[in-house]
Amino acid sequence: MRNAFFGCSIAFVLGLVGCTGEEGTTVPEDSGAPTDSGGSDSTLDTSTDGGGDSTSDATDTGTPVDTGTPSDTAPGDATDGGVACAPTPAPAITKTGAANKILLKGTVVTPDTVFVGEVLVEGDTITCAAASCAGSAGAAAATVVETNGIIFPGLIDTHNHILFDIFDETDWAPTKAYGNHDQWTAEPKYSAMVDAKQYLNGEGSTADFGCEMDKFGELKGVVAGTTSIAGAANSANRACYGSLARTIDQSPNDLGADKVQMATLFPTKTAADGVCGNFTDGSTDAYLIHIAEGVDATALNEFAKLGSITTTANCLYGPKTTIVHGTALTATQFDIMAGVGMRLTWSPRSNVFLYGAGTDLSKTTNVPLALSKGINVALAPDWSMGGSQNLLDELRFADKVDNTVWGDKLTPKMLVEMVTTKAAKNLGLDATIGSIAAGKKADLMVIGGDASKPYDALLAATPREVRLVMVGGVPLYGDAAIKALGPTTPGCETIDVCCASKFVCVAEAGGTSTNKFGQTFAEIKSTLEGALTAYDALALTSYKFAPLTPLVRCP
Partner 1 sequence: MPTTTNSTSCRAKCRRASTNRALRIELTNLPDGLDELLEPFESLHWGQGEGHANEGAIDAVLVVGRSCLVGQLRRHEQSVADERRCTPYATSPPLVPTPGMRPLLLAVPLLACSPAPLESRAEPTAILAPLRIAAASDGGLAFVDLTSGAVLAHRESGPLEDLVVDPFRKQVLAFETIPREEGGYVVHHPLDPTAVARRWFVDGTARLAAVPAGTLVFERSYGERWRLVGDRPLSSLPSPLPRSPFVEGTRALGLTEDGVLHTVETSPFAVAAERPLLLTHRTARVARTSSGLCALDLENGVLVLRTLEATATPLAIRAGAIVDLTPYEGGLAALVDQPLQLVVVRGTVAHALPLPGHPCGEEHPGCHALVAAPPRVAIGTRDRVHVVRMSADLRLDLENTLEGVHGPIAGPLP
Three-state DSSP class for 191?
Answer: helix
Least separation in angstroms between CB 207 and partner 1: 9
Residue with Cβ nearer partner 1 (140 or 304): 304
Question: Rounded distance, CA 310 to CA 82, Å?
Answer: 59
Residue with Cβ nearer partner 1 (227 or 310): 310
Residue with Cβ nearer partner 1 (187 or 254): 187
Q: Within a 10 A sphere around the Cβ of 90, how many other Cβ atoms?
A: 19
Residue with Cβ nearer partner 1 (509 or 537): 537
Residue with Cβ nearer partner 1 (147 or 261): 261
Least separation in angstroms between CB 116 and partner 1: 44
Residue with Cβ nearer partner 1 (288 or 391): 288
**DSSP class of 548:** P
Q: Contacts for 517-524 with beta carbons within 8 Å, 24 or more apart? A: 517/240, 517/242, 517/243, 518/490, 519/211, 519/212, 519/215, 520/26, 520/493, 521/24, 521/26, 521/219, 521/493, 521/495, 522/26, 522/493, 524/212, 524/215, 524/216, 524/219
Least separation in angstroms between CB 104 and partner 1: 37
Least separation in angstroms between CB 158 and partner 1: 17
Residues forming beta bridges with residue 78, ordered by sequence position: none
Q: Closest by alpha carbon to 465, among 492, 502, 495, 433?
A: 502
Binding site for partner 1 (CB under 8 A): 161, 164, 182, 185-188, 190-192, 194-195, 197-199, 201-205, 232, 234-236, 261-265, 268-271, 274, 278, 283-284, 538, 540-541
Residue with Cβ nearer partner 1 (386 or 475): 386
Q: Closest by alpha carbon to 160, among 429, 353, 381?
A: 381
Least separation in angstroms between CB 526 and partner 1: 22
Residue with Cβ nearer partner 1 (123 or 277): 277
Least separation in angstroms between CB 451 and partner 1: 42
Instruction: Specify the amino acid at residue 49.
Output: D
Residue with Cβ nearer partner 1 (46 or 541): 541
Question: Rounded distance, CA 424 to CA 534, Å?
Answer: 39
With contact defined as beta carbons under 8 Å apart, do 36 and 502 qualify? yes
Residue with Cβ nearer partner 1 (270 or 330): 270
Residue with Cβ nearer partner 1 (149 or 210): 210
Q: What count of residues does the chain have?
A: 555
Least separation in angstroms between CB 165 and partner 1: 13
Three-state DSSP class for 223?
Answer: coil
Instruction: Specify the amino acid at residue 209.
Output: F
336, with CB counted inside 10 A (0-12, 13-18, 19+), is: middle
Instruction: Specify the amino acid at residue 309.
Output: I
204, with CB counted inside 10 A (0-12, 13-18, 19+), is: exposed
Least separation in angstroms between CB 250 and partner 1: 9
Residue with Cβ nearer partner 1 (249 or 394): 249
With contact defined as beta carbons under 8 Å apart, do 315 and 276 qualify? yes
Least separation in angstroms between CB 191 and partner 1: 5
Residue with Cβ nearer partner 1 (236 or 336): 236
Least separation in angstroms between CB 209 and partner 1: 13
Q: Within a 10 A sphere around the Cβ of 392, how many other Cβ atoms?
A: 30
- Containing 95, the helix (H) or strand (E) segment is strand 92-95
Question: Rounded distance, CA 445 to CA 459, Å?
Answer: 13
With contact defined as beta carbons under 8 Å apart, do 40 and 72 qualify? no
Least separation in angstroms between CB 234 and partner 1: 4
Residue with Cβ nearer partner 1 (266 or 317): 266
With contact defined as beta carbons under 8 Å apart, do 382 and 293 qualify? no
Least separation in angstroms between CB 385 and partner 1: 11
Three-state DSSP class for 526?
Answer: helix
Rounded to 10 degrees, what is the CA torsion of 343, 180, 550, 360? -90
Q: Closest by alpha carbon to 51, among 441, 395, 417, 419?
A: 395
Least separation in angstroms between CB 197 and partner 1: 8
Question: Rounded distance, CA 435 to CA 451, Å?
Answer: 18
Least separation in angstroms between CB 535 and partner 1: 8
Instruction: Specify the amino acid at residue 298.
Output: T
